[in-house]
Structure 1
Amino acid sequence: MDMTTILLVRHGQTAWNREQRFRGQVDVPLDEMGLLQAAALGQRVAAAWKPAAIYASPLQRTLQTATPIAQACGLGIISHAGLVDIDFGACTGLSEAEFAAHYPQLASAWYERPHTVHFPGGESLADVHRRAVDMLNEVVAHHPDHTVVLVTHLVVCRVLLCHFLDLETDHFWKFEPAPASLSILEISTRGRLLRTLNDTAHLHPLAVGRGPKVVL
C-alpha cells in the first residue's frame, strides 16, 4: 500500500507574529526565537524521518524555517507558490486592533464567517484552498510512499487541515498550529489520516530556556 506522509510545518516566529499583524505576502523574516525554533525543528525532522523532498512557500520566513531541515536532511528546498500565505490586500500590515477599527464589518465577518470574506485587493480562503490543495495533490502524485515536508503559513495550514478532514473552510478557526509546529498527515489508497496535530515537543526546551519569549 503506497502511503505518502506529509509533515505540515508552520514557519517559525516573526516580529509580526508577536505584534499580531496581518503578515500575508509581506516578506517578514524570522526573529531570533523563530531561528531557534527552526533549528530545533530541523533536528527533530532529521532524527525521526527521511524526507524525500522539502517544499516551502517562497517567502523568507518559510525558507528560513525550511533551511535547517534541508541542511539536516541533506536536501534542497523546492519553492512553490501554492504554499504562499494569503494576500490580505489592503489589510496587510494592520494589527488586529487596527483591522477592527478600520474595517469593522470585514473584521466581524472574518472572525465569524471567514469563508465569506474576500480581502479588498487580496484573496479569499477559496483562493488559498484552490492553490494549496492543487499543490498538495501534486506532491502526493509525485511522491507515492515517501515522506514530504511542506513549510507554509498559518492560513494555509488551517485551509489544508480543513480540506484533509473534509471540512468546509467555515471551520477555519478550529485549528491553531503554533509557529514551527508539526502536523503529520498520511494519505494512502485507504484514505487520509491525521496522525498528529500541532506537535511542538521540539520547542519545549526553548520555552523554558533563556531565549526570547516564545509566542505559541
Structure 2
Amino acid sequence: MKQLFIIRHGETDNNKQHIIQGRSLDASINELGQLQAEAIRDALEPYDLHKIVASGLRRTHETAQPLASQRKLDIHKYPELDEINFGVLEGKVFTEIKDEVMEVHEKWKSGNVDYAPEHGESPRETYARANAKVEEVLESSTGESIVFMIHGRLTRILLSEWLGYGLKNMHKIEHQNGAINHLTWHDGKFKAVELNKTDHLMELV
C-alpha cells in the first residue's frame, strides 16, 4: 500500500486577482503562497516521505521547495501533471468572462466532460494524461509515501474519478491553495484518509 498527499500549490498573484491561469500562465507563488508552502512542510512533519512530485509549472516547484529542502529530496517534475488547459480563457479575469466560464462549468456538470474550451482540454483528456503519470509514479516508486504538488482543477478531476464521484461531480471536491488531500493506493484503488485539510493554513488567513 502506498500513501499519497495530493496538494494544491500556494497562492499566486493571479489566484489573488482571480485570473484564470490554467496551463499557459507560469506564475510564481506570492508572499502568502510562500507562507503556505512552509505551512505544508510543517503539516507533513509527522510523515516519513519518500518522493516529491510536481507538475511542470513553477508554482508547484516553488511550493514544494521548503519541503524538499527539509527532507533533502529532489522534486520530480512532470508536465503531464500540469493544470487543465483552459484555452482562450487563460489570462482573463474571471469576473470579466463569468458567463463564458459558467457555461463551460455547466456543460461539465451536465456530464459533457469531453467538452473543452476553444484551444483547451476537456476534463476527460486531462484525467487521462495525469492519471497515467500518477499510476506510473506509484507503480515504479519503491517508497511508500509520495507527495504530488499539483493544481486546483486537476485535483478536482483526479479525486472525483479516484473516489467514485465521476467527472461531472468534480465541482463537489473542495480545495484551496495549500490544501492537503491524504489518500492510500492499494491494488489499483484509491481511498481517502483526509480530504481538503486546511487547519495548517488557518493562522495565515
By the TM > 0.5 criterion, same fold? yes
Q: Secondary structure at the match of 1:6?
A: strand
Q: Please state if 1:181 is matched with 2:179.
A: yes
Encode CA deviations 1:137-156: one digit per residue, 9 max, x unaligned.
11220125600000000011
Q: Please state if 1:41 is matched with 2:78.
A: no
Query: Which of 75, 88, 91 is the aligned partner of 1:90?
Result: 88
Q: Structure 1, unaligned stretches of length 5 or more?
A: 208-216
Q: For the residues of structure 2 that align with 1:27 and 1:4, how far apart are their CA atoms?
A: 30
Question: Does structure 1 conserve the Cα–Cα contact (< 8 Å) formed by 2:114 and 2:125?
Answer: no
State the partner residue of 1:210.
none
Q: For the residues of structure 2 that align with 1:104 and 1:87, how far apart are their CA atoms?
A: 16
Question: Does structure 1 conserve the Cα–Cα contact (< 8 Å) formed by 2:56 and 2:82?
Answer: yes
Alignment of 1:1-216 (within 5 A): 3-25=1-23, 26-45=25-44, 47-101=45-99, 105-106=103-104, 108-109=106-107, 115-143=113-141, 146-189=144-187, 191-207=189-205
Kindly tell me the number of residue pairs found equivalent between the two proteins: 204
Larger deviation: 98-107 or 148-157?
Answer: 98-107
Larger deviation: 112-121 or 124-133?
Answer: 112-121
Q: CA deviation at 1:114?
A: 6.3
Q: For the residues of structure 1 that align with 2:105 and 2:167, how far apart are their CA atoms?
A: 17
Q: RMSD of the TM alignment (CA)?
A: 2.0
What code does the residue aligned with 2:38 have? Answer: A
Relative to structure 1, the CA distance from residue 112 to residue 23 in structure 2 (aligned partners, 3 Å threshold; closer, same or farther) is farther
Relative to structure 1, the CA distance from residue 5 to residue 106 in structure 2 (aligned partners, 3 Å threshold; closer, same or farther) is closer
Larger deviation: 140-149 or 86-95?
Answer: 140-149
Question: Does structure 2 conserve the Cα–Cα contact (< 8 Å) formed by 1:125 and 1:169?
Answer: yes
Q: Secondary structure at the match of 1:160?
A: helix
Relative to structure 1, the CA distance from residue 187 to residue 92 in structure 2 (aligned partners, 3 Å threshold; closer, same or farther) is same
User: Taking every aligned residue pair, what percent have the same amino acid on both sides?
Assistant: 27
Encode CA deviations 1:128-168: one digit per residue, 9 max, x unaligned.
10011101111220125600000000011001101211232
Q: For the residues of structure 2 that align with 1:186 and 1:100, how far apart are their CA atoms?
A: 36
Question: Does structure 2 conserve the Cα–Cα contact (< 8 Å) formed by 1:38 and 1:180?
Answer: yes
Q: CA deviation at 1:83?
A: 1.0
Q: For the residues of structure 1 that align with 2:132 and 2:102, how far apart are their CA atoms?
A: 33
Q: For the residues of structure 2 that align with 1:181 and 1:10, how far apart are their CA atoms?
A: 6
What code does the residue aligned with 1:137 have? Answer: E
Q: Secondary structure at the match of 1:177?
A: coil
What code does the residue aligned with 2:22 have? Answer: G
Q: For the residues of structure 2 that align with 1:41 and 1:12, how far apart are their CA atoms?
A: 9
Encode CA deviations 1:68-100: one digit per residue, 9 max, x unaligned.
110111101000112101111111011222223
Give the TM-score normalised by structure 2. 0.91
Q: Structure 2, unaligned stretches of length 5 or more?
A: none
